[in-house]
Structure 1
């Protein structure tokens, strides 16, 4: 861990927050890549609406991951968004390759959004208990955005 520049947290609190940020950074990067994969490989009913929605969802995820990485740096960490690290660290299930119907992408995406949302909510508690309310607030904001986008995407499932 490098010198902390601005946080004023104890070393233990910073270490806990950095580890939690790193874990979730990999998940959010992976989810952003998965959403783009779906965006490129969908067809069928409501294609254009979901296609555009996924562009917005990726933008939201990129904003979240940028804030998480910047927070880790503030705390003295060194975020690692390299593809090899993300592939090794993610716990998201592998996404199906190739074209699928919009409804199938929606189902697959919502499943992965729920995993990320659960991890973000767990992260809120971990860093808050560690004494880092600022990082807890960051995770709370991220959780709200992920939940909202999961709901928007999921609302395109047939039969809703």
Structure 2
């Protein structure tokens, strides 16, 4: 249950803390996976995709920081240690080595939609407990879904 203390302000429940930790893990994983694909990309449209992957890295990094700082503001403890991220991520591991641009588009579009899906899964429960935190999640969902649409359009045809 959510509690409000006069001296310390709003305090996240265990459930809210767990939801935010889940999102933090996926955002850190998304950032790392986008950078991995950025380094190992080859093929057609290399430069544009290389630059777009950096945009995704920046979005994921800034979003992870926003979530972690919100966790601290509501007295939750973020855990972004590599062992925690590796053990708890819901995102699939990417293949090693160089990958063709079309493969990267498909893999990273999937990663973006999975991350947005995780955000949407916890959103209503977060909103019920803390609308302020839910507003932050709204912004993150919008940014991630925009990147998923833009990246996924690379492999679409009419």
TM-score (norm 1): 0.89
1:18·1:77 contact (CA, 8 Å) conserved in 2? yes
Partner of 2:151: 153
**1:102 and 2:113 correspond:** no
CA deviation vs aligned residue, 1:79-132 (integer Å, no higher than 9, x gap): 111110000110111111111110100001111111111111112111112x20
Partner of 2:69: 70
1:6·1:75 contact (CA, 8 Å) conserved in 2? no
The structure with higher relative contact order (CA 8 Å, sep 6+) is 1
Q: How does 1:1-160 map to 2 (within 5 A)?
A: 8-9=9-10, 11=11, 13-129=12-128, 131-157=129-155, 159=157
Deviation, 1:59, is 0.6
1:98–1:7 distance in 2 versus 1, CA, 3 Å: farther
SS of 2:155's equivalent? coil
Deviation, 1:17, is 2.0
TM-score (norm 2): 0.90
Deviation, 1:8, is 3.4
CA deviation vs aligned residue, 1:7-60 (integer Å, no higher than 9, x gap): 733x5x533222111011001100110000110011111000000111111111
Count the aligned residue pairs: 155
The worse-fitting range, judged by mean Cα deviation, of 47-56 and 119-128 is 119-128
Aligned residues: CA RMSD: 2.0
Structure 2: runs of 5+ lacking an equivalent: none
SS of 2:57's equivalent? helix
